[in-house]
Amino acid sequence: MRSFFLVVVLLLLNNPSFSQTGTIEGRVVSATSGQPLEGVNAGLEGTALGAATGEEGTFIIKGIPAGRYTLVVTSVGYERQKKTITVEAGKTLTLEISLKKATTALDEMVVQGVSEGRELELSAQSVEAVGLSETKLQTADLGEVLAQTQGVSVRRSGGLGSGTRFSLNGLTDDQIRFFLDGIPLNFTGYSLGIANVPVNLIKRVDIYKGVVPIRFGADALGGAVNLVTPEGYPGAHGSASYQIGSFGTHRTSLNAGYEDQATGFFVNGAGFVDYAQNNYDVDVEVPQNNGKLEDATVERFHDSYSAYGGNLEMGVRDKAWAEALSVTGFFSNNDKDIQNNNVMSVPYGKITSGKTSYGLLGQYRQELNKKLSLNLASGYSHDTRSFTDTSSFIYNWHGEPVRDSDGDIRKRGTPGELGTASDQVLWDNNYYSRFTISYRINRNNVLDFSSAPTYVRRTGDERWREEIETVDPLNDVRTVFNWVNGLQYQWSPGDDKIEHILFVKDYIQNVRAEEQTSGAPINRNRNFHTPGIGSSIRYTISEQWLVKASYEWATRLPKTNELFGNGSLIMPNLALEPEKSHNVNLKIDYSGSADSGSWNVGVNGFLRSTDRLIVLLSDNEIFKYQNVFAARSTGMEAAGYWKSSDNSITIEGNTTWQSFRNTSSRGEFGRFEGDRIPNRPYFFANLRATYRLPDPFSNADDLNLFLGNRYVHSFYRGWESVGLERFKDEIPSQFTQNFGLTYGFSFQSTRASVTGEVQNLTDARVYDFFGVQKPGRAFYLKITTQL
C-alpha cells in the first residue's frame, strides 16, 4: 500500500502540464419551445469524438487536440446542424445550440442519440437507469417512483415522512447503500431517507443490483442506488416546484445555479420544505365500554410530519490545476409524530421523534495527464436524533386520553405511553473520505483504485432520568470505524463487443462499545477484516441482443443504528456480525424498432446466497436487528417498454418474483428452516402507460396523460410455519392505480408545467411494513418551473 501511494506522488510531481487539449461544453434546446433536448448526438466530423445530451440538454466532449473542427449535431425529428469551431489547448468552448423541427422525411433520417442512462445500461455493470424527465413533473415522491422499477420494493409505515424500507432483489434496509452523485446520502444534506429526497432535484437514478463498483467505496450487500443530479452549464439556471394535496400535504423544492464561463467559478444551491398532517382514515379495533373490541374507521390524529433542508455548493472548474474543486455546506431537520407501534395494534397520542443534520463536503477532481485521473472527497456531518415519550396519559384511536399510565383517569401516574417515560437525544459525529485514482493503460484497458475510510462517534443522553439515575447507558461513547478498499481492472477489445470488469475489495471494521448490565459492563469491542471479489461481463451479440453476467462475493458491515439501536423503538444489539453474500446476475436484453415504434425487453435472473443475514425482527413488540444464520434469495425479473414512432404513446411494465427463504438449520432460527423471510413481498408487478399530445393549443406546449398500476401479492408478516395466527397475519394482495394529467408550456425562457393527479384511484385498502395501513385515495396538484 505504501509503495502504491509513493507511485502516485511521483506521478503528481513529474506531471509538467495538465492538459494540452481542449473541451467543448454545449447545451441543445428546441428552437420552438426553448426546452432542453435529450439524446441529441454532438460529434466532431472526421473524428471519433462525440457525446449525447443528457436530460438537461447538455453535453461535454473532452480531450480534443487544439484546432478547427466541424461540429455536427443531429437528432430524430430535427434538422441536422453543422457549426465550424476552434478548440484551444487548456480552454473550454461553450455553445448554445437550437434545433429546428424537421420539415422533410430526409431531415428525419438521422441516427438517434443514446442517453447517458441507456449507455450505462449497455455497459458490463449490473445496473438499471431510471430517468426522471417526466416523473419529476408528477406528484409521486422518489420512493413511489423507484417502486415502479423491476426488483425494487419500497415500503413505508404510513404517509409522507414515515419510516421507509427499500428492498432490492429481497435484500433491504442498510443492505443497500444510497448515494448522491457518488457521495453517501448522509453527507449531502439528505439524511432523512431516499424517499424524502425531492424528486425535482434529481435527473436520474442508477440502481446497481448485487454488484457494486469500487468507485463508491461501499460495503453494500445487495446493491447500491446512486441519485444523479443535473449538470451545470454557463449562465444562470434553476427550477422550482410546489405541490399541495390530500391529508394536509405541502411540498416545495427549489434549486438555482450560476456559472461564470470566463473564470470557471460556479455556485449551486438547493432547498426543500415538506409538511403533511397524514390524517387519513384507517381501519382499527376500538374497545367498547364492555371491553369488547369492535371494528371502526377513524382518522389518524397524531401523525404530522415537517421537514426542511438545503445545501450550497461553491467551486471552480476547468482550471489547469483542477478539473473541478468544490465545497458544499448542508443542513436538514425533521420532526415526526409517532401515531402507533410497528404493527399498528396500539395508538400513541404524544410520542414524537426528530432529527437534525448539518455538515461540510469537499471534492476535488483532476485529469493529471492523458492516462491518469484523480478524484478526492472528504466530509463531516453531525446528526442529532431525539425521541420523546413523557405523556401521563394513554390514548385511544379517537385521540382521547382514556386513562393514565396507572389505569386511573382521575390521577396522573407514571409517564410514558410505552410503559417508561423517555426523553432521549443521540449525537452522531460522522467522518468520511474517499480517494479514487484511475489509470488508462490504453483505449482498451483501465485500472482503478479506491480507498474509503469512515468513522462514526455516538453518544447520547436520557434527559428524563438524569436526576434519578446515576448511570445513563446513553452517555457511553461508542464508535465504529469502517475502511473499504478496492482495485478494479476493466478490459474491452477494439470492436467493443465484449466488456469485462474484474475487481477485489478489502473490508475492515473496528467497533468500540460497552453493553450496560445489572452487573459489570460487558466489553463488546470487535475487529473484523475480510476480502471480497467480483466480476462483470457484457457480450453484444448484435445491435439488438446483448447478454450480461455478474458476480460479487460481498460483505456488508453492520451500521451504527443496527449495532446501537435508534434510541426509540429499536433496541441495540452489539453482538451483530457482518453479513456476507454470493450475488449472481444473468441478464438478456433485446432492443428493436419498426415503423410502428421502438421497444426493449430485458430478463434478469438473480441469486443472493447470504450468511449471517441481518433482519429487523420483533419479540413481543420489542424490535431488534438480529443475524439470521443463512438465507437465500432467488428470483426472476422482467421489464419492457414500447414507444410509438412519433413518441406520443409509451407503454412500459415489469414484474418481479423472488423466493427469499431462511436456509439455516441451526441456532435461534433453525426451527424456521425453509420459511420465507417475514414481512417481504415476493411477487409484484407494475404497468404504466402515457400519451403525449404535442402542441394542443400552441406550438410551445404539450399535454401528457399517464396511468400507473401496481400489484403486490399477499405475504406473511411473521414466520409462515408458526401456528399462532397473530404472528402469522397475512398482508392481503393489493392492486392500486394512479391517474394524472400534465400540461407543459413555455413563456420567454422559462418552461412550466401543471400536474393534477389522483393516487390510489379506487381507494383500495393498502397495507405495508408489518401491516400498517397506508393512505387511501388522494388528490394532488403540482406546479413546476424551469429556467
What is the pLDDT at residue 684?
A: 96
At residue 787, the 3 state secondary structure works out as coil
Rg (CA), the chain: 27
Which residue's entry shows cell 476552434?
86
Give the mean pLDDT of the chain.
85
Q: What pLDDT was estimated at residue 46?
A: 66
Residue 518: pLDDT band with limits 50, 70, 90: low
CB 261 within 8 A of CB 233: no
Residue closest to 763 by CA, chosen among 752, 779, 748: 779
Whole-number Å distance between alpha carbons of 654 and 531: 35
Residue-wise pLDDT tens digits, 521-533: 677 788 999 999 9
The more confidently predicted of residues 504 and 61 is 504
pLDDT at 113: 46
User: Which secondary structure element, helix H or strand E, spans residue 542, and what is its range?
Assistant: none
Q: Domain locations in the chain?
A: 2-114, 118-231+244-302+326-515+534-786
Tell me, what's the pLDDT at 306? 96
Q: How would residue 17 be classed by pLDDT, with cut points 50, 70 and 90?
A: very low
pLDDT bracket for residue 551 (50, 70, 90): very high
pLDDT score for 516: 62
Fill in the DSSP letter of residue 491.
E
Number of Cα atoms under 13 Å in the Cβ half of residue 558? 29
pLDDT-derived band of residue 341, with 50, 70 and 90 as boundaries?
A: confident
pLDDT at 488 over 50: yes
pLDDT for the residue numbered 15:
42
Separation between Cα atoms, residue 520 and residue 142, nearest integer Å: 47
Residue 561 has a pLDDT of: 85
Q: What is the pLDDT of residue 485?
A: 98
What pLDDT is recorded for position 556?
94
Name the band, by pLDDT with cuts 50, 70 and 90, for residue 354.
very high
The candidate with the shortest Cα–Cα distance to 26, out of 119, 78, 115, 92, is: 92
666, amino acid identity: R
Which residue in the block uniquely carries the three cell numbers 438537461?
Answer: 56
Tell me, which fold does domain 118-231+244-302+326-515+534-786 have in CATH? Maltoporin; Chain A (2.40.170)
Provide the grid cell at 298: 377513524
Q: How confident is the model at residue 626 (pLDDT cuts 50, 70, 90)?
A: confident
Residue 472 pLDDT > 70, yes or no? no
Q: How far apart are CA 270 and CA 752, in angstroms?
A: 18
What DSSP letter does each residue of 510-538 carry, written as one string?
Answer: EEE-EE--SSSPEE--EEEEEEEEEEEEE
**pLDDT bracket for residue 473 (50, 70, 90):** low
Residue located via cell numbers 422482467: 638
What does the pLDDT read at residue 299?
A: 95
Domain 2-114: give its CATH code: 2.60.40.1120
> Once rounded to an integer, what is the mean pLDDT over residues 587-597?
89
pLDDT (tens digit per residue) in 401-424: 876 555 555 454 568 888 788 889
Region 461-471: mean pLDDT is: 67
Based on the number of CB atoms within 10 Å of its own CB, is 46 exposed (0-12), middle (13-18) or buried (19 or more)?
Answer: exposed
The residue that leads in pLDDT, 108 or 275, is 275
- Residue 615 phi, psi dihedral angles, 5° rounding: -135, 140
Mean pLDDT computed over 637-650 = 91
Give Cβ neighbours of residue 288 (< 8 Å, ≥ 6 apart).
294
Tell me: pLDDT of 515 over 90: no
Question: Picking from 425-434, 726-735, 775-784, which range would have the lowest pLDDT averaged per residue?
Answer: 726-735
Would you state the pLDDT for residue 87?
Answer: 87
If we measure between CA atoms, which residue out of 356, 370, 241 comes closest to residue 308? 356
Q: SS3 letters for 362-418?
A: EEEEEECCCCEEEEEEEEEEEEEEEEEECCCEEECCCCCEEEECCCCCCCCCCCCCC
What is d(CA 200, CA 238) in angstroms, rounded to the nearest whole number? Answer: 11
* Amino acid 470: pLDDT: 56
